[in-house]
Amino acid sequence: MHRHGYKGRKFGRETDQRRALVKGLATSLVMEERIETTLPKAKELVRYIEKLITKAKRGDLANRRQVIAGLSTQVAAFKLVDQIAPQLGGRTSGHVRVERTRLRVGDGAQMATVEFVDELQSMPKAEAKPAAKPVAKKPAAKKEAK
């Protein structure tokens, strides 16, 4: 089997499964801001998420749509574009770090954590407006029997 024209790791998966795996890892990283996975998956995730962060930092409509397409949920995409990317504005690259952590007990795989290099400040959530009071129904007038 030749490797001409293929960049990246295969992970023993079909193309669509591999794409879904990396997309899911990227979404988890954006939502949790720190995840633990195997070292090869972490290294592949860095290549993927760096490109998404660069698009999110530009923030125009076309790049925003590409970020939405690159993550599993719109909530994660909006968080990346609106909250995380502005905090990473001082860097041109190297937004995430990979640190080796331990060997997994079951199969001895090298585990690694992936996290953002800069400390991210959590954005205060907008105060929820009080819910509208339910409208009480007026009791129906009873007909009098004659």
Q: What is the pLDDT, as a whole number, of residue 106?
A: 93
For 67-104, how does the pLDDT look when each residue is reduced to its tens digit (9 = 90+)? 999 999 999 999 999 999 999 988 899 999 999 999 99
- Residue 27: in which H helix or E strand, if any? helix 15-32
Q: Domain range holding 64?
A: 15-116
Average pLDDT, stretch 112-122? 89
**In a domain? residue 129:** no
Query: What is the count of structural domains for the chain?
Result: 1
**In a domain? residue 124:** no
Where is average pLDDT lowest: 31-40, 100-109, 131-140? 131-140
Q: Identity (one letter) of the amino acid at 140?
A: A
**In a domain? residue 3:** no
pTM of the model: 0.80
DSSP at 89: T
- Residue 111: in which H helix or E strand, if any? strand 110-116
